[in-house]
């Protein structure tokens, strides 16, 4: 059993309205940022989960998404097991 | 000039309260999911940006984060230039 850092990205399903994305897009235009083609706003959920291995952690989090975290009608979700990378964090 | 898919992950800063994360953690406990050690809830913003190259896209999005997307007092943000990966998406 070890602890796994898992990231879940939840987004409005393509083709469905994303009013928050539209508002952010408009605000960025108003602030003078050019060349923005699309903005979609979703949720990012970070979990630390105890599981036998990464695949078991992924299965657990998949069940959590179906039961609680994501709306299966309007949202898509993506589960990532975090590895240490050269990400930029500020 | 080419189009870049950029992902911005915004999270409550460590040490600051994350009431939404607490609610989700409690709900997962109530649903019988064991072994969850921490839950943090943030936002995931996906943008498509026209820029000369990936570094210029990152600089533009960094300015957007400072001006609008993130709250510099309470939130951390992370900018990722998306590459095609074997992510699991449902």
What's the ipTM? 0.85
Parallel, antiparallel, or unpaired for β B75-81 and A88-89?
A: antiparallel
Locus of tokens 């072994």: B35
Q: Delimit the domains of chain A by residue range.
A: 2-81
List Cα–Cα distances, A38 to A22, A29, A58, A67, B16, in angstroms.
9, 11, 29, 30, 31
Cβ contacts below 8 Å, chain A against chain B, sum to 127
Question: Hey, is the C-beta of A73 within 8 angstroms of any chain B C-beta?
Answer: no
* Distance from the B35 Cα atom to the nearest Cα atom in chain A, whole angstroms: 5
pTM equals 0.86
> How large is the greatest C-alpha to C-alpha distance in chain A, in angstroms?
50
Name the band, by pLDDT with cuts 50, 70 and 90, for residue B87: very low
Question: Hey, is the C-beta of B22 within 8 angstroms of any chain A C-beta?
Answer: no
pLDDT at residue number B4: 93
Locus of tokens 């408009």: A26
Low-confidence ranges of chain A (pLDDT < 50): 84-90
Question: Hey, is the C-beta of B81 within 8 angstroms of any chain A C-beta?
Answer: no
The helix/strand/coil state of B5 is: strand
Domain spanning B2-81, CATH class:
alpha beta
A9, A35, A47: residue with CB nearest B38: A47
Question: Hey, is the C-beta of A47 within 8 angstroms of any chain B C-beta?
Answer: yes
Indicate whether B76 pLDDT > 60. yes
Question: B50 burial class (0-12, 13-18, 19+ CB within 10 angstroms)?
Answer: middle
pLDDT at residue number A70: 97
């Amino acid at each position: 059993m070890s602890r796994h850092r898992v990231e879940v990205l939840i987004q409005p399903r393509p083709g469905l309205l994303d009013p928050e994305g539209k508002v952010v897009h408009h605000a960025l235009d108003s602030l003078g940022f050019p060349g923005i083609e699309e903005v979609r706003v979703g949720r990012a959920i970070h979990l630390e989960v105890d599981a036998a291995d990464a695949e078991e952690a992924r299965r657990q989090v998949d069940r959590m998404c179906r039961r609680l975290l994501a709306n299966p009608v309007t949202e898509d979700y993506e589960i990532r097991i975090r590895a240490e990378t050269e990400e930029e964090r500020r």
